[in-house]
Chains A and B, each alone.
Chain A
Amino acid sequence: MRPKKAKKIVFKSAEEMPLMICSVGHQTHNLTGAWRNIRPEIDLGKCIKCGICWKFCPEPSIEVVDEWPVVDYDYCKGCGICAEECPAKCIVMVEERR
């Protein structure tokens, strides 16, 4: 199960709300990983460290750590672009367990 990190904010009065309709606090608090239905899993044994998944991820939620790709599941929405673009075909999209 994915942990539910997002917390719903309910204001008590009109005055304490921001005047403009906008996200409250930093946008990085919005953990979009909760939207995901399928998750990318990388088989590092087949990975050729080309960086194409990092380059194509629109979020971006693939980081390169010590030359290897690492998915940030807090933000990955499971779009599958990385799996589609990977030339070594080492990324598979696996259904999320709920």
Chain B
Amino acid sequence: MKKVIMGNHALSYGAMLSRSQVISAYPITPQTQVVELLSEMCADGKLDAQFIKVESEHSAMASCIGASVAGARTFTATSSQGLALMHEMLHWAGGGRHPVVMGNINRSMAPGWSIWADQNDSLSQRDTGWMQFYCSSNQEVVDTVIQAFKVAEALMIPAMVILDAFALSHTYEVVDVPDQALVDRYLPPFKPAIKLTTDDPRAFGGLTGAEHYMELRYRLEKDMEKAPALIEETGREYGKLFGRDLGLVDPYLCDDAEFIFVTSGTAGYTARVAVDELRKSGVKAGNLRIKVFRPFPFDRVREVLGRVKKAAVVDRNCSYGAGGIFYQEVKSASYGRPGMPPLFGYIAGLGGRDITTDSFKEVAAHALSKDRPDEEIVWIGVKK
């Protein structure tokens, strides 16, 4: 059924269709409508879930972890400072192998106080053992939540479904809301091999000596390495049922491109318009939108990079002292491989500043005027 809904409600519909059993969340702008709608769905009986109101995001994630250990399919959502407050519990969910699915609205970190989009909140959590999916449309948000549960529960690794503040969270788009019966066929009930039960009492997350800790982390990494293939496999399966394939990356006109943008989030769709305009002016441009950041899709990125002459990575984030975070990952993907193009790094759109087609044309003009990058970061649209 087609509906016109905002990005936040796309997360709520994804959680409802996935038959989440426990939802625990604390409101924060710009995430609030996600849990508002979910609490309505619970109150109206559309969703048979326990809705837990908590006093902080730390407690929200803690209660999600508890529910997940007890064998419940568990969902939450947060943003920015809320995600930062969860940080300790994110490690707990990742390291403890609890497949919670969480929506995160990309909002800039304070100070200065900001409610507008950039990616530093979620990218600061990249080493917590969570998968991260960066979405670019409301349709992709609904579809990705459902897929995220399937992948998370198969690997016992939690997953974040991430969307830009306002540019997606509060933007209304037409969404084909999947049919519940088909979702049920795609996503069977969550049945963990080990769970907290009075029939088999166990303590979870206890003291782990040096003789075992490393093996647990080795298994987490090995299972994370299985995720790219599983995301593609379950993405094709999703395509068969719903007509929309879900992949690790989303290349646009990359087959014959000589110059590509590498992007993520909503800027990834703006870049497509810029590519169309650049092609009209004779530049063989393309766009590689990276959807999955953890696990990083090294193979898919290398495949596209190997076909082009130059690539410009546009980051809506900054690791201070090292530059754009996607830029670092793309550089590491290309390192030591033959036939890789020069890579240029740009930072744009921090704190909700718009990334427009003109921003991408400025990036293209800069990258095309040089043979090799001569600075680590080029700032786009900053008042110097």
Binding site for B on A (CB under 8 A): 10-11, 13-14, 17-23, 26-28, 30
A14-B219, A19-B97, A21-B95 given as contacts; is B208 within 8 A of A27 (CB)?
no
> Which one of A11, A23, A26 lies within 8 Å of B215 (CB-CB)?
A11
Q: A11: nearest residue on chain B (CB-CB)?
A: B212
* Nearest CB in chain B: distance from A71 CB, A: 21
A26 to B201, CA, bound (A): 6
Residues on A with C-beta less than 8 A from B95 are 21
From A10, A14, A22, contact of B218 by CB (8 A): A14
Does chain A have a CB within 8 A of B200? yes
The verdict on B206 contacting chain A, using a C-beta distance below 8 Å, is yes
Could you say which residues of chain A place their CB within 8 Å of the CB of B205? 21-22
Which B positions have Cβ atoms within 8 angstroms of A? 69, 95-98, 156, 192-194, 200-206, 208, 211-212, 215-216, 218-219
Query: Is B193 within 8 A of A19, CB to CB?
Result: yes
Contact present for A27 and B206 (CB under 8 Å): no
Q: A10-B211, A18-B194 are in contact. Are A23 and B216 (CB under 8 A)?
A: no
Whether the Cβ atoms of A26 and B156 lie closer than 8 Å is: no
A20 contacts B219, C-beta separation under 8 Å:
no
Contact of B194 among A10, A22, A26 (CB under 8 A): A22
Give complex CA distance A26, B98 in Å.
21
How many angstroms from the CA of A23 to the CA of B98 in the assembled complex? 16
Tell me which of A18, A21, A28 contacts B201 (CB under 8 A): A28
**Bound: A11/B213 CA distance, A:** 11
Bound CA–CA A54/B336 (angstroms):
69
Q: A13's closest neighbor in chain B, by CB?
A: B215
Asked if residues A20 and B215 are in contact (CB atoms below 8 Å), the reply is no
In the bound complex, residues from chain B placing their C-beta under 8 Å from that of A10 are: 211-212
Q: Which residues of B contact A18 (CB under 8 A)?
A: 194
Q: Are B193 and A21 in contact (CB under 8 A)?
A: no
Q: Is the CB of A19 within 8 A of B203?
A: no
Residues on B with beta carbons closer than 8 Å to the beta carbon of A14: 215-216, 218-219
Contacts of B96 in A (CB 8 A): 20-21
Chain B residues closer than 8 Å to A13, beta-carbon distance: 215
Flag if B204 contacts A21 (CB, 8 Å): yes
Q: Which residues of B contact A30 (CB under 8 A)?
A: 203
